[in-house]
Amino acid sequence: MAKSLVLGNGSMLVGFDNHAQIKDLYFDYVGLENHLTEEAECKIGIWVEGMFSWLDDPMWQLTIDYQPESLASKIEAINQNLNLKLTFLDVVYNEKNILVRNITIKNLAKSKRNIRLFLNHQFRMYGTHGKDTVYYDPKDHTVVHYKGRRLALIGGRVDGNYMSDYTVGLSGIEGREGTWKDAEDGILSKNAIEHGTCDSTVAFEKSADAGQTFTVSYWICMGKTLSDVKDLHFYVDKKSPEHITESTIDFWRAWLGKTEKDFGDLEQGVRELFQKSLLIIRTHVDNTGGILASGDSNMLQYGKDNYAYIWHRDGALTAIALDAAGYHEVARKFFEFSNATITEYGYFFHKYRPDKSLGSSWHGWITPDGHHRLPIQEDETALVISALWKHYEGTSDLEFIENIYNNLIKKASEFMVGFRNANGLPSATYDIWERVWGVHTFTAGAVYDALSSAAKFAGLLGKEKDQERYARGAEELKAAIIKHLYNKQGNYFYKYVDFEEGHELHDETVDASSFYAMFKFGVLALDDPMMKSSLETFRAKLICKGGVGGVARFEGDTYCQADKSTPGNPWIVTSLWLAQYYIVSAREKAHLAPAKEILEWVVARAWTSGVLPEQVDPNTGLGLSATPLTWSHAEYVTTVKMYLDKLKEFK
């Protein structure tokens, strides 16, 4: 299930499902340890006058959004049968690892009623079953889950009163469904301790007159020791959950203060999604620099794996968006992460975990005929260097560049300039979509831009030999791209080429990334006939006709395929790539209209809260695959900034 809303602070990331339940809780790296497994969830229930309902019951009508310009939830749940309305205001404290949920309950009935709120927790510390312990502490009226150096403390109060009921027990083992079943009669059994695979449920109770509201403030503190979580609990109790909530909202509103103020002729929805995208991106950036592709643990990809990794491709493109929006300090963290993870040979592996260790991979180390191959996507290495140049352009931080030149820039550039075949193109690696082995047009374009950027870095630092070597390599590569990768009969750029015994074997699949690389990386001038003909082929083959529109990745894309009559599902990023072309090629304000339409198309594809999926159903427009996807939000931010910058040129 996609995440309807995410909150975080750089070391804690919480994802909520469409029932307002906690479904992902990462700590203490963003994306590394999810303390809820695939089947686990934190259920929310209400008992009133002998009737009980969980919020995942269809009787509840929920709307899920963010508070304006802040990383705080704005969730409303109404149950007409129970005559109840719940309003959630949730934050992850920006200063400490505390989730605060303020749940305001309104009695819609015409009489006074006793109402009990039940909150269930199915924590699986380190994301594994067994060896957990959970207990109730009567001294401070808290429940503590722990395993090793991962602890979660649950506390709360309503009108100064602590939890009215509690129980702990086994969950999902030995035929035990969990203590949430114990809540359905409105009374908990007060079991005080359990170990193994277990859960807990706590309750808060209050009577409310007709039309009256009251608020339950409840919190989860995450830490590595018992004293850590106890200290956090006492901190909340002393400062008050109201203070922490207000302080967090104020922080994120101030954080957004540096963003664009004048959105020109863009509609309000475009502006709001721009701000939400920046906030959602920030929740996916670990404080040590890793940029998570997606915290959506339910998006199971190959081998029941998910997107909770750092791809340097996604990270570099997200860093570009952050720098464009003025968040240089956040982008810099990613380049520090890259400086720490680049191999001694000058390339990045497929993906990494937030603690800088290698991530899982399906990239093989051997060819079908038994030869060694590098299990990498070279575009990931190239994109980091290109993004770093944009970072320098925005910061002029020469000391930072000098500090990382030898370890990051030179290592990567020496690898790229040397890792070429006899035809001057990059040697074969996997493509941007992580599927196909070959010499790809997108990769070649990315390496061209990276070497051009490396030459500029070398020139800044007075390294003339490096500058000449990288500049020459870039020009040789550009010539090889035009010679070997342009389809003169079809008038577009091939997806890739293989060289076998003197023969060129081309993949004629029309791929959005091949077109994108030519203008994004400056390989061709916008008025070049090859650029114009490639655009026409791109539009004819990859724009999804009928349905909701949008742009597919490539012809015959079967990943999460929803309709075989289309070239593939529309992706957010590829649709925005077309918008970026319209922007850079615009010669007057009227030429921006198609880009504006695509931005509005993306707004229409976002969930109510603003989270963007990876791709959408071509007929319904409903999100598919990982949601939110950081890359989707990053390309959206980049495109809006490009649009606004171009708009200023026409004033």
Domains and CATH numbers, the chain: 5-256 (2.70.98.10), 262-288+543-651 (no CATH), 294-524 (1.50.10.10)
pLDDT over 70 (residue 302): no
pLDDT over 90 (residue 651): no
Burial call 11-34: b when 16+ CB within 10 Å, e when fewer: bbbbbbbbbbbbbbbbbbbbbbbb
| Per-residue model confidence (pLDDT) at position 173 | 83
Q: Which residues pair with 77 in a beta bridge?
A: 62, 86
pLDDT over 80 (residue 11): yes
| Per-residue model confidence (pLDDT) at position 303 | 53
**Model confidence at 1, in pLDDT bands (50, 70, 90)?**
low
Q: The sheet that has 193-196: what strands, in order across it?
A: 61-66, 73-79, 84-92, 98-107, 213-223, 150-158, 142-147, 132-137, 193-196
d(CA 306, CA 360): 10
pLDDT over 80 (residue 163): yes
Express each pLDDT in 406-439 by its tens digit: 999 999 999 999 999 999 999 999 999 999 999 9
For 271: left if phi > 0, alpha if psi spans -120 to 50, otherwise beta; the answer is alpha
Express each pLDDT in 475-487 by its tens digit: 999 999 999 999 9
Percentage of the chain modeled with pLDDT above 90: 91
3-class state of residue 572 by DSSP? helix
**Model confidence at 504, in pLDDT bands (50, 70, 90)?**
confident
Question: What's the rounded mean pLDDT across residues 126-139?
Answer: 96
Burial call 113-139: b when 16+ CB within 10 Å, e when fewer: bebbbbbbbbbbbbbebeebbbbbbee
Question: What's the rounded mean pLDDT across residues 314-325?
Answer: 98
Higher pLDDT, 504 or 184: 184
Question: What's the rounded mean pLDDT across residues 81-89?
Answer: 97
pLDDT over 70 (residue 301): no
pLDDT over 50 (residue 594): yes
What phi and psi, each to the nearest 5 degrees, are found at residue 267?
-70, 165
d(CA 475, CA 466): 14
Average model confidence (pLDDT) for the chain? 95
pLDDT over 90 (residue 499): no
3-class state of residue 71 by DSSP? coil
Closest alpha carbon to 562 in 625, 613, 618 = 618
Express each pLDDT in 340-365 by its tens digit: 999 999 999 999 999 999 999 999 99
pLDDT over 80 (residue 500): no
Percentage of the chain modeled with pLDDT above 70: 99
| Per-residue model confidence (pLDDT) at position 300 | 59
pLDDT over 70 (residue 86): yes
d(CA 581, CA 539): 12
AA identity, residue 20: A
pLDDT over 70 (residue 292): yes
For 370: left if phi > 0, alpha if psi spans -120 to 50, otherwise beta; the answer is left
